[in-house]
A = this chain, B = another copy of it.
């Protein structure tokens, strides 16, 4: 099973709309912090904090090159998340199957 603490960090990270938006933008390519800050009408430290949360959940990676920090998406935990969700949808589908059989019978 998936580590429960890890799972909590992932859900907590994705509960915030700004962070979900950042993740979505990152699928279109890596970004630097100074681009994100004006986009969200938010101070640079606020963005830094959001990135910390995302990084702790291992949903992103930061690479510092001289002064500039580039932010990349990290796919591993999206897979973790998918696995977790899948266990529930599978469960439900099997229930539906049972129900269907029951009705047919």
Contacts and interface: CB of A to CB of B under 8 A. Distances in A.
A88 B60 CA distance: 13
Contact of A79 (B27, B75, B89): B89
Number of this chain's copies in the complex: 2
Given A78-B85, A86-B82, A91 B14 contact: no
Contacts of A12: 11, 15
Contacts of A38: none
A81 interface: yes
Given A27-B88, A78-B85, A92-B78, A8 B17 contact: yes
Interface of A: 4, 7-8, 11-12, 14-17, 20, 23, 27, 73, 75, 78-79, 81-82, 85-86, 88-89, 91-92
